[in-house]
Amino acid sequence: MAPRGAVTPTDDRPVEGMNEGHPVFRVRGTMALRLGRMVTIPILLAGGLLAGPLWGGVSVAQVLAVAAVAGAAAMLVGSRFADDRCSEPRCNHRLRPEDTVCPRCGGTVAGVIDHPQQRLEALERIEREGWTARTGERGEDAEPARPR
């Protein structure tokens, strides 16, 4: 979340439909981190209480070990599930594999990138290639470069 002071006047527009006719990118991702957090954080919270004020019957080391193992397992499971997102920073809506238009901001999915930070670079590339929303065509190298 950006701090309130960082919000610029153009951010007043609603996200819904803000990118209609404009390109956005599919940011390829998986559920690994999301699922890892969902499992690890409650274990740490509950474990912290059990190891400390509530019971004291488990050690902090045991709590950390359980959280690490459960978190790793959750990330492994999560990495098998795609979690592609819209590259528009204010949108970040989940994109299904068949989506060619973002269901939230209305942007036309113009390519695939591996990280939100590649968005501007990819935008420059498709503009050089004469991308238009009408064709919605992906350039030859719309497939992302592998992360360094």
Positions that interact with Zn ion (CB under 5 A):
86, 88, 91, 93, 102, 104-105
With respect to Zn ion, which residue has the nearer C-beta, 93 or 119? 93
With respect to Zn ion, which residue has the nearer C-beta, 24 or 67? 24
How far apart are CB 107 and Zn ion at their closest, in Å? 5
How far apart are CB 109 and Zn ion at their closest, in Å? 9
Distances (CA, A) of 9 to 12, 16, 102, 144: 6, 17, 23, 32
With respect to Zn ion, which residue has the nearer C-beta, 67 or 91? 91
With respect to Zn ion, which residue has the nearer C-beta, 71 or 144? 144
* Residue 139 and residue 111 in contact, taking contact as beta carbons nearer than 8 Å: yes
How far apart are CB 27 and Zn ion at their closest, in Å? 10
DSSP three-state, residue 132: coil
98 CB neighbour count, 10 Å cutoff: 5
How far apart are CB 125 and Zn ion at their closest, in Å? 19
How far apart are CB 119 and Zn ion at their closest, in Å? 11
Question: What stretches of the chain show up as alpha helix (H) in DSSP?
Answer: 32-51, 60-78, 119-128
And the tokens for 15? 């996200």
With respect to Zn ion, which residue has the nearer C-beta, 39 or 110? 110
Contacts of 9 (CB under 8 A, 6+ apart): none
